[in-house]
Amino acid sequence: MLPMDPSKRNSFEQHICEEDLVIVYERHDTMKAIKMQKGSVFQNRFGIFKHSDWIGKPFGSKVLSNKGGFVYLLAPTPELWTLVLSHRTQILYLPDISFVISYLEIVPGCLVLESGTGSGSLTTSLARAVAPSGHVYTFDFHEQRATLARDDFVRNGLSSLVTVSVRDIQGEGFPEEFCGSADSVFLDLPQPWLAMPSVGRMLKQDGVLCSFSPCIEQVQRSCEALKSNFTDVRTFEVLLRTYEIKEVRMDGNGGGEGSPLGPFPRKRRQCLSGEGNNGRSMEQTTAAVMVRPSSEARGHTGFLTFARLACI
Ligand SMILES: C[S@@+](CC[C@H](N)C(=O)[O-])C[C@H]1O[C@@H](n2cnc3c(N)ncnc32)[C@H](O)[C@@H]1O
């Protein structure tokens, strides 16, 4: 997922090798992570694909099945991994993840503490953000979740950037060995206020904390706990609106008006068909690119509370 040598970055130049993890992309909501193994096949409604036909192809390739159907073979980035990982818990999604990484000021070389690890969705992006010289120490009190997350980081080639440990962070706090050394701390815990005194000890002067909570009552208690030694306390809710984009043929009455979701705002484009090339005796149809807010847009996920350790 994240080769350390920048010249080997996943890109259209990099070729798929045996044992590589590949994201098989049918469409934005139908993807699967597959490990390449000679002799194995991938099967979907478009037919059968042999892994051996995929090995050696560049990431980004469009490949055909025995029936002429196709899929794309994409490099496993943290963004795609978040969409295909196995959900062992609620996870953070990209709108929250990208905001967290920016607002926590995470850059290569940072030391980041996280709890709980959960399904490792956020951890995967944290790892890429701190690479190649930083490190993420992530803690979960659930032993099996910690083990499965560790296995995923090995599969994704991130194990040199992430250490997963089993620990009750609300009860015990972060290990004292990290005292004063964390650039940032992220909490996704049911009672984050219990961990906040420990977070205050772990952060470097000027370091930043983020706590994710689904309920506003949790935010209120957290902000109360942050009053004593944090400053610049701010809470955000990140809402994303996605759009559907479709190209449709229009009839003379301006098609699309009868859609149950109403007409699309649109830009028209003239398409000419028939004989001749000078516009005479040509049948005209109109194609329109239709764009409208998606009815599947994700709503509330949670609140992100950020605070900076007060300088003494
Ligand atoms: C919602 S999940 C975290 C999801 C994660 N942010 C992601 O994006 O995949 C919350 C995790 O916190 C863990 N947890 C709950 N209480 C804990 C505690 N006291 N100490 C450590 N981990 C805890 C749970 O086991 C669970 O895996």
Which residues form ligand 1's pocket by a CB distance below 6 Å? 89-92, 115-116, 118-122, 139-142, 145, 168-170, 188-190
3-state secondary structure 161-211: CEEEEECCHHHHCCCHHHCCCEEEEEECCCCHHHCHHHHHHHEEEEEEEEE
Residue recorded with tokens 């073979």 = 73
Residue recorded with tokens 């996605």 = 242
pLDDT of residue 281: 46
Residue in 93, 188, 212 to alter for ligand 1 test, most ligand atoms within 8 A of Cβ = 188
**Residue 180's closest CA among 199, 197, 201?**
201
Which sign, positive or negative, has the C-alpha torsion 108, 113, 115, 117?
A: positive
Residue in 138, 170, 189, 193 to alter for ligand 1 test, most ligand atoms within 8 A of Cβ = 189
From residue 217, alpha-carbon distances to 142, 151, 224, 227 in Å are 24, 35, 11, 16
Task: Point out the ligand 1 atom lying closest to the alpha carbon of residue 118.
Answer: 27
- Read off the pTM: 0.86
pLDDT of residue 266: 58
pLDDT of residue 137: 98
pLDDT of residue 13: 57
Rg for the chain, CA atoms, rounded: 24
Any binding-site annotation on 53? no
**Nearest-CA residue for atom 22 of ligand 1:** 140
| Greater pLDDT, 25 or 268 | 25
Tokens for 50, please give them.
């042999």
Tokens for 260, please give them.
């149950």
Kindly report, residue by residue over 166-208, the tens digit of the pLDDT. Answer: 999 999 999 999 999 999 999 999 999 999 999 999 999 999 9
In which band, very low, low, confident or very high, does the pLDDT at 261 lie, cut at 50, 70 and 90?
Answer: low
Minimum mean pLDDT range among 64-68, 177-181, 256-260: 256-260
77 CA to middle of ligand 1, Å?
23
Any binding-site annotation on 121? yes
